[in-house]
Amino acid sequence: MLVNGIELNKISDELWEIPRHKEMRVPGRIYISRDMIESGLQNDEAINQVVNVAHLPGIQKYSLAMPDIHWGYGFPIGGVAATDLNEGVVSPGGVGYDINCGVRLAATSLEFKPLEKRIPKLVENMFKNVPTGVGASGAIKKVSPQEMKRILRQGSHWAIGNGFGSDADADFTEESGMLKNADPEGVFERAIERGLDQVGTLGSGNHFMEVDVVEEIFEETVARVFGLFKGQLVVLIHTGSRGLGYQVCDDYLKVLLKAESKYGFRLPDRQLACAPVRSDEGQRYLGAMQAAANFAWNNRQVIMHLAKKSLMETFNMQESELGFHLIYDVCHNIAKIEEHDIDGKKKKVCVHRKGATRAFAPGSSNIPLKYKDTGQPVIIPGDMGRYSYVMAGTQKAMMETFGSSCHGAGRMQSRHQALKHAKGRDLVAELNKKGISIQAHGHKTIAEEMPEAYKDVADVVNVMHNAGITLKVAKLRPVGVIKG
């Protein structure tokens, strides 16, 4: 099959390969169905980006893309690439501007039905307690530059140490909510300034907080271990490192653009700006990126505490009655040093996940002991009008995708196209009719994120499930939405 002039060969119903050609160092592989290729990929530049990423020095096995693939900066969103630590590179385009944008799923012990009529009030309180929108600030007291550097080192642990949660929250956060090689000194002054009053803020764009109900359980045993039951009230939080992370990416793109000529790289796209992993530039970027990732984990930790406060206020409950606890927090814009099987041998590589989620298998030493027999929870949000999914990582993911899965539904329409299609519609009324209460800063935000702007997340999730990369565990239905 030819897609945008690129040969795409079918390996299975869920996996297609771009053969190595010209200066590609490895083949490209896309997890996707034929229907999704024909309906969305034919006119998307993202497939060219899969080819471009395959040119990176030191790339291992494949340039990968998940079924939520769409055009991004340098890498496609949904892109995964692992590079050799000695001969390979690190690329900010393989992480993205919103460093450690991620999803946190917290559960309650409450059933939705008896509380259904109070959900609009809950959404109103959450919108009041968690600042949203462009430049959102003021969730907690503005921190000093010195305190910000402590946040950049400590991640979630700063929030927990300051009364925003418990030690158990760190246990159920990827990397325990703190990358230990973070270097706050590598974060430039402008990035620090942008983050000072943004701790505990949701931000804008596709960021959101949702109140969901567990609508369907696919794997009872795994769901029980995760702490999920049918009819349960849960909270999803999707946000990242805010202006600080954006600035870190922007600052280091300038640094790494200069590195391209210094190290003699010849790449098909300047947006793939990179530096050798072991180089001074590469190490400086990794240290600053890890600091921004820690900021994001801390941000989601504070937001979760504010969500719990909103639940307690709305339902007039004590914490013990609420049963509020973190199931897991995953990131989907990051590069990490991990050990994987490369051609039958264990090898440390730099894994870029850009709009892709880690999906480690049962038995992994990098996931909480509680999930050793089930695999890591993989949280896949959909759009605000349909549903989201909880999945589990598998051994096949470790063998084929460097332990990676999709991260969401994936856009089908640009924000401009979505605004055009939303013209004349009352989207709030449409969502209310579906039993979904919503709070946002104006019609524009809701229109840009309208359900039709996204692929149906069920299609995306089914590709991953049928390919054996992740296992479907539960489906969540939104009943309350707070948009950034």
Compute CA 429 distance to the chain's CA centroid, rounded to the nearest angstrom.
29
Tens-binned pLDDT, residue by residue, of the chain (484 aa): 988 889 999 999 999 999 999 899 999 999 999 999 998 887 789 999 999 999 999 999 999 999 999 999 999 999 999 999 999 999 999 999 999 999 999 999 999 999 999 999 999 999 999 988 777 777 887 899 999 999 999 999 999 999 999 999 999 999 999 999 999 999 999 999 999 999 999 988 889 999 999 999 999 999 999 999 999 999 999 999 999 999 999 999 999 998 888 999 999 999 999 999 999 999 999 999 999 999 999 999 999 999 999 999 999 999 999 999 999 999 999 999 999 999 999 999 999 999 999 999 999 999 999 999 999 999 999 999 999 999 999 999 999 999 999 999 988 888 888 888 888 798 889 899 999 999 998 778 888 888 888 989 999 999 999 999 999 999 999 999 998 7
Cα 90 to Cα 88: distance, rounded to the nearest angstrom: 7
Cα 224 to Cα 9: distance, rounded to the nearest angstrom: 40
Strand partners, 404: 358
Q: How many domains does the chain have?
A: 1
Cβ pair 40, 64 in contact under 8 A: no
Residue 29 Cα distances to 432, 458, 480, angstroms: 40, 21, 37
Catalytic residues: 407
- Name the nearest CA neighbour of 295 among 154, 105, 167: 154
Residue 340 lies in a domain: yes
Residue 21 lies in a domain: yes
Which tens digits make up the pLDDT trace of 314-367? 999 999 999 999 999 999 999 999 999 999 999 999 999 999 999 999 999 999
Q: Which two tokens stand for residue 412?
A: 């089908």
Q: Which two tokens stand for residue 405?
A: 């899965």
Q: Output DSSP code: residue 38.
A: I
Residue 483 Cα distances to 132, 155, 204, 291, 384, angstroms: 7, 24, 7, 26, 9
Residue whose token pair is 């949000």 = 381
What's the domain range around 75? 2-93+336-355
- Name the nearest CA neighbour of 356 among 140, 130, 65: 65
Residue 6 lies in a domain: yes
The helix (run of H) or strand (run of E) holding residue 304 is helix 280-315
Strand ranges, E, within 4-76: 6-7, 9-12, 15-18, 28-31, 63-70
Residue 349 lies in a domain: yes
Q: Is 463 helix (H, G, I), strand (E, B) or coil?
A: helix
Cα 308 to Cα 319: distance, rounded to the nearest angstrom: 8
Compute CA 207 distance to the chain's CA centroid, rounded to the nearest angstrom.
10
- Name the nearest CA neighbour of 30 among 43, 16, 20, 40: 16
Cα 184 to Cα 13: distance, rounded to the nearest angstrom: 45
Strand 325-331 with 275-276, pairing: unpaired
Cα 125 to Cα 114: distance, rounded to the nearest angstrom: 19
Strand ranges, E, within 41-185: 63-70, 77-84, 89-90, 102-111
Residue 351 lies in a domain: yes
Q: Is 265 helix (H, G, I), strand (E, B) or coil?
A: coil
Q: What is the full DSSP assignment across 171-195? A: HTBGGGG--TT--GGGS-HHHHHHH
Residue 209 lies in a domain: no
- Encode 426-441: b = buried (16+ Cβ within 10 Å), e = exposed: ebeebbeeeebbbbbe
Compute CA 163 distance to the chain's CA centroid, rounded to the nearest angstrom.
26
Cβ pair 327, 226 in contact under 8 A: yes
342 phi/psi in degrees, rounded to 5? -120, 110
Strand ranges, E, within 424-469: 437-439
Residue whose token pair is 């937001």 = 303
CA dihedral 72, 210, 101, 358 (to 10 degrees): -90
Show the CA angle centred on residue 298, arms to residues 294 and 304, nearest 5°: 145
Q: Which is it for the CA torsion 329, 333, 338, 339, positive or negative?
A: positive
Cβ pair 447, 427 in contact under 8 A: yes
Angle between helices 280-315 and 242-262 (to 10 degrees): 170
Which ranges of 155-279 would DSSP assign to H, the alpha helix? Answer: 156-161, 167-171, 189-195, 220-226, 242-262
Rg (CA), the chain: 21
Length of the chain equals 484
Strand partners, 65: 30, 79
Cβ pair 388, 418 in contact under 8 A: no
Which tens digits make up the pLDDT trace of 239-272? 999 999 999 999 999 999 988 889 999 999 999 9
CA dihedral 143, 441, 454, 378 (to 10 degrees): 30
The whole-model pTM stands at 0.96
Residue 389 lies in a domain: no
Residue 75 lies in a domain: yes
